[in-house]
């Protein structure tokens, strides 16, 4: 491609400024810029921009008049289920896990800007006694969960028993290489590496507020991942759905990298969804207060969707049911279930119907003097799709089954790492403390006696959801800082720290 070809390509879309420094570039830089330009579908980009532009100009829509809570029959919760019901859901989920019908799908393509580290968030260690990273905890949880499911369902075919839970990991240009390298160095946390599949989401150019593509350097276009809803395009275009089908996967559990308490391939959630014949479902936690800035899941006209905090008036946010709970209380925590037929049809036929959202960001750019500048204020937009944007499709004619939500206890299942310790909420410290507190509760339930000051970390290889602790820990008195680990040399559980009896 020569300069004139590039002008011909860019001019119809008003993007010829991308060639502003062309004469200053050497041959390699020119080739680099051409590659970047060729990757962009300008017609689609302009269409996407025009669509979000008209929405940017509108004031925020409030959904108050159109909203209804998710109907009771599509809702389940720990709080309102009997122990027998929960057991039943868990067993359904564990059976599907033993048969390798459940895949775990990790969204790990984000840039983690608020945390502010220059490597993938999953590699971050929040400072647990063991020093384990988020990826490490997740990997070991999958190892133990499969062993547990196999023990409960020994009749599952041996080839299914012998392979680990399929783990699909969506990365992006920023996180792909270092994530794979980290997994390799960590020996895939003891999982079967054939059952771990990394795939990259796509990138979109960053734009100025008036729709011009931003140059990050004179020969490089500024790009960002297309949002966690980029999942659906990547699943199709990277042939991941085919891979799932080949392996006999029927259900997919999708989760975010940064929730330190995430229950991997959560058997209770998966079992609940199977029992409810869900095509698509979301795990939710109760809002802590009406003004908590979290999206809530509800019905808008005939379709389910997440309504953001800013889209509901204060009055509606404060509405309560007869038993005193907030009416709109289903806080979305980005933890989802899909059955494979729904996902398949959605990705192949309806992905393009998912709209982009606008994120206003500070985007580094080349200024008038040709220098790269990192702005202090927001200066441009990134276009993103969100993973939950598919909920409305669950009631489409083509979608067999229905939508469902499963409410869990926040302290047991949700503690995300978003910020550095300079902030108060969702930091390494809050994650660490939430995990220690959870493990203390598990031990107390198992009959151990804990000194109020004790902090305990239980390896996921010993117990992943609080299971199988009673025999090990009943009657033990614990104090100080402790770890409960599996010694791989003899496969025995070791307690490191103080036992006061």
Quick one: which of 333, 343, 336 has its CA closest to 232?
343
Candidates 76, 211, 230, 460; binder of ligand UTP (CB under 6 A) is 230
Candidates 30, 75, 95, 121; binder of ligand UTP (CB under 6 A) is 121
Q: Between 296 and 315, how does the x/- string for binding to ligand UTP read (CB under 6 A)?
A: --------------------
Question: Could you tell me the smallest distance in angstroms from the CB atom of residue 383 to ligand UTP?
Answer: 10
Nearer to ligand UTP, 240 or 256 (CB): 256
Q: Is 392 in the site for ligand UTP (CB under 6 A)?
A: no
Within the chain, what is the greatest distance between any pair of CA atoms? Answer: 82
Q: Is 258 in the site for ligand UTP (CB under 6 A)?
A: yes
The whole-angstrom separation of Cα 225 and Cα 221 is 13
Q: Is 111 in the site for ligand UTP (CB under 6 A)?
A: yes
Q: Is 114 in the site for ligand UTP (CB under 6 A)?
A: yes
The whole-angstrom separation of Cα 319 and Cα 321 is 7
Question: Which range of residues in 227-235, 368-376, 407-415, 452-460 is near ligand UTP by CB under 6 A?
Answer: 227-235
Question: Which range of residues in 178-186, 220-228, 345-353, 453-461 is near ligand UTP by CB under 6 A?
Answer: 220-228
Query: Of 184-213, which residues contact ligand UTP (CB under 6 A)?
Result: 201
Sign of CA dihedral 291, 294, 298, 303: positive
Backbone angles phi, psi at 365, to 5 degrees: -150, 170
CA 488, 490, 496: angle at the middle one, nearest 5? 70
Candidates 69, 76, 93, 112; binder of ligand UTP (CB under 6 A) is 112
Task: Give the β-pairing of 203-205 and 223-225.
Answer: antiparallel
The whole-angstrom separation of Cα 443 and Cα 95 is 26
CB count in 10 Å sphere of residue 81:
17
Backbone angles phi, psi at 335, to 5 degrees: -140, 110
Q: Is 260 in the site for ligand UTP (CB under 6 A)?
A: no
Question: Could you tell me the smallest distance in angstroms from the CB atom of residue 256 to ligand UTP?
Answer: 3
Q: With contact defined as beta carbons under 8 Å apart, do 122 and 257 qualify?
A: yes
The whole-angstrom separation of Cα 18 and Cα 365 is 12
The H-or-E segment that residue 55 falls in is helix 42-57
Quick one: which of 65, 71, 313, 108 has its CA closest to 225?
108
Number of residues that bind ligand UTP (CB under 6 A): 21
Question: Which range of residues in 112-120, 188-196, 444-452, 475-483 is near ligand UTP by CB under 6 A?
Answer: 112-120
Quick one: which of 146, 180, 167 has its CA closest to 243?
167
Q: Where do the H-state alpha helices sit in 276-392?
A: 314-317, 340-345
Question: Could you tell me the smallest distance in angstroms from the CB atom of residue 186 to ligand UTP?
Answer: 19
326 three-class SS: strand
Question: Could you tell me the smallest distance in angstroms from the CB atom of residue 358 to ligand UTP?
Answer: 14
Question: Which range of residues in 17-25, 47-55, 221-229, 300-308 is near ligand UTP by CB under 6 A?
Answer: 221-229
Candidates 109, 205, 211, 271; binder of ligand UTP (CB under 6 A) is 109
Q: Is 223 in the site for ligand UTP (CB under 6 A)?
A: no
Residue nearest to ligand UTP (CB): 110
Candidates 166, 227, 428, 460; binder of ligand UTP (CB under 6 A) is 227
Query: Of 320-339, which residues contact ligand UTP (CB under 6 A)?
Result: 334
Q: Is 139 in the site for ligand UTP (CB under 6 A)?
A: no
Backbone angles phi, psi at 462, to 5 degrees: -90, -45
Return residues touching ligand UTP (CB under 6 A). Answer: 107-114, 121, 170, 172, 201, 225, 227-228, 230, 256-258, 334, 418
């Amino acid at each position: 491609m020569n300069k004139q070809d590039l002008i011909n390509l860019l001019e119809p879309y008003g993007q010829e400024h991308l060639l502003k420094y062309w004469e200053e570039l050497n041959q390699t830089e020119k080739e680099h810029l051409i590659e970047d330009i060729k990757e962009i579908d300008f017609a689609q980009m302009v269409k996407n921009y025009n669509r979000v532009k008209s929405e940017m100009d509108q004031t925020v829509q409030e959904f108050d008049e159109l909203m209804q809570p998710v109907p009771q029959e599509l809702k389940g919760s720990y709080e309102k289920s009997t122990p027998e019901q929960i057991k039943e859901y868990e067993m359904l989920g564990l059976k599907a896990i033993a048969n390798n019908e459940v895949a775990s799908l990790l969204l790990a393509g984000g840039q983690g800007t608020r945390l502010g580290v220059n490597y993938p968030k999953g590699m971050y260690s929040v400072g647990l006694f063991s020093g384990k990273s988020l990826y490490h905890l997740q990997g070991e949880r999958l190892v133990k969960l499969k062993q547990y499911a196999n023990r409960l369902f020994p009749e599952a075919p041996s080839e299914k028993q012998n392979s680990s839970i399929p783990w699909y990991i969506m990365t992006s240009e920023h996180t792909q290489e270092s994530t794979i390298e980290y997994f390799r160095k960590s020996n895939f946390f003891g999982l079967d590496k054939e059952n771990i599949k990394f795939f990259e989401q796509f990138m979109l150019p960053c734009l100025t507020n008036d729709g011009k593509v931003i140059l990050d350097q004179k020969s490089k276009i500024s790009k960002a991942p297309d949002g966690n809803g980029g999942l659906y395009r990547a699943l199709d275009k990277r042939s991941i759905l085919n891979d799932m089908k080949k392996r006999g996967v029927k259900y997919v559990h999708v989760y975010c990298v940064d929730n330190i308490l995430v229950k991997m391939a959560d058997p209770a959630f998966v079992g609940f969804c199977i029992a409810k014949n869900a095509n698509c479902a979301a795990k939710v936690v109760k809002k802590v207060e009406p003004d908590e800035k979290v999206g809530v899941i509800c019905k808008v006209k005939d379709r389910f969707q997440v309504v953001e905090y800013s889209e509901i008036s204060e009055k509606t946010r404060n509405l309560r049911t007869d038993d005193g709970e907030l009416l709109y209380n289903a806080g979305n925590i980005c933890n989802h279930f899909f059955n494979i037929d729904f996902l398949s049809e959605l990705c192949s036929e309806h992905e393009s119907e998912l709209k982009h959202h606008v994120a206003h960001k500070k985007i580094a750019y080349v200024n008038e003097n040709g220098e790269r500048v990192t702005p202090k204020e927001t200066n441009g937009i990134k276009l993103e799709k969100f993973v939950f944007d598919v909920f409305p499709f669950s009631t489409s004619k083509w979608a067999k089954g229905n939508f469902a939500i499963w409410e869990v206890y926040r302290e047991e299942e949700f503690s995300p790492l978003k910020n550095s310790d300079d902030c108060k909420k969702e930091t390494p410290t809050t994650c660490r403390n939430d995990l220690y507190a959870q493990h203390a509760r598990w031990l107390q339930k198992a009959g151990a006696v804990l000194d109020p000051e004790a902090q305990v970390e239980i390896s996921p290889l010993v117990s992943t959801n609080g299971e199988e602790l009673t025999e090990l820990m009943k009657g033990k008195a614990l104090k100080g800082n402790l770890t409960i680990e599996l010694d791989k040399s003899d496969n025995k559980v070791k307690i490191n720290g103080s036992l006061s009896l």
